[in-house]
Amino acid sequence: MELKFYKPKNEILSNFIEGYYFLTQKETDASVEYLTFPNNYSIISVYQNTEIIFSENQAILRGKEGNPFESDLICHYKKPIKVICEGSLNEITFYFKPLGLNAFLNQPLCHYTNDFFSSFIPYDDYKSTMTAALNETDYEKRGILIENYWLSKLIGFDHPFLKNLIIDIQKEFSISELAEKYGTSRQNLNKHFESNLCKSPSDFKKIHRFREALKSHMKKNSKDNLTSLSYDMLFYDQSHLIKDFKSLTGLTPKKFFNNISPQEDGQINWLFV
């Protein structure tokens, strides 16, 4: 398997897209299995000649002629997903920042997904453009093609408080305090989060704290103990950190950190099994 991760070269796009990767696997390559963990991104993957079999918290990607194009959106999973890659694969995956994908859509994000994963064909020319990108073997040209395409679809996203609330929820505010600050109710916050982010404010905060703990641990070369990490990342205590890690990864923090495999700058984290 070969995987190349890129940050958007276009400065405008970098406000909305965290990055994208190109994954290729040859027919003769050994099958690969890994776990990937919850994040607050909206994730779009496009595939060429690939059969995708989804079940509860598992995805099998299998090379299959006669299935020339597939596009899926995942934006609200709360448990680790086991991914099994078999045979010849050609994939492009985009990671949109929280609220980022909304800036390219005519309707709220929830209109495009109603399950763990959903088929995603948002524009009339989407399939033809993404197919052309998958067929482009020069990664530099492929990157230019897809970045120009997303720029052509950018319409912006305007909301009375969600952009600022996303910043505040990453700080030491409770959901009730945030509702009071923005002059609304917890129920209304939940409604807006579910509509535009496909997750609750509590789930968003929980996943954000987990991801920040992961980045902090990787940067410090695993020298900090769990108690220090707990308080640095605004967990109530070490038991709170352990509980959240087990919920989101199925593993204790110690076992998770001993096995995690960062990709590039740590934005994608997989555990190979």
Q: At what angle do helices 201-219 and 238-249 cross, to 10 degrees?
A: 100
For residue 104, which of 160, 44, 189, 56 has the smallest C-alpha distance? 44
pLDDT at 231: 47
pLDDT tens readout for residues 85-96: 999 999 999 999
Does the pLDDT of residue 263 top 60, yes or no? no
**Tokens, residue 181:** 């600050």
Report CA-CA distances (Å) from 272 to 33, 62, 89: 6, 18, 18
1 membership: H or E segment, kind and range: none
Calculate mean pLDDT across residues 136-144. 97
| 42-47: strand order across its sheet | 2-6, 17-25, 89-96, 42-47, 70-74, 118-119
Contacts of 98 (CB under 8 A, 6+ apart): 40, 41, 42, 166, 197, 204
Of residues 77 and 223, the one with the higher pLDDT is 77
Beta strands in the chain (DSSP E): 2-6, 17-25, 32-36, 42-47, 50-55, 58-63, 70-74, 81-86, 89-96, 118-119, 261-263, 268-272
Strand-pair partners of 43: 74, 95
State residue 193's pLDDT score: 95
31 vs 209, residue with greater confidence:
31
CA 35 to chain centre: 13
pLDDT for residue 262: 55
Q: Where are the beta strands (DSSP E) in 164-273?
A: 261-263, 268-272
Mode of pairing for the β-strands spanning 58-63 and 81-86? parallel
Q: What is the mean pLDDT of the chain?
A: 87
Average pLDDT over every residue of 2-28: 95
* Section 259-272 average pLDDT: 56
Q: What is the pTM of this model?
A: 0.88
Higher pLDDT, 77 or 41: 41
Per-residue pLDDT for 273 more than 50? no
Q: How high is the pLDDT of residue 230? A: 52
Helix (H) or strand (E) holding 141: helix 139-152
Q: Which of 37-46, 123-132, 227-236 has the lowest mean pLDDT?
A: 227-236
- pLDDT greater at residue 209 or residue 194: 194
Assigned token pair, 146: 């897809």
Q: How confident is the model at residue 80 (pLDDT cuts 50, 70, 90)?
A: confident
DSSP string, 150-185: HHHT------SSHHHHHHHTTSS--HHHHHHHTTS-
**152-169 residue pLDDT tens:** 999 999 999 999 999 998
Task: Name the strand (E) or helix (H) holding 15.
Answer: none
In the numeric block, the tokens 């948002």 are attached to: 122
pLDDT, position 266: 46
Determine the Cα–Cα distance for residues 73 and 76; give it in Å rounded to an integer. 10
Higher pLDDT, 176 or 172: 176
234 sits in the region (left: phi over 0; alpha: psi -120 to 50; else beta) called left
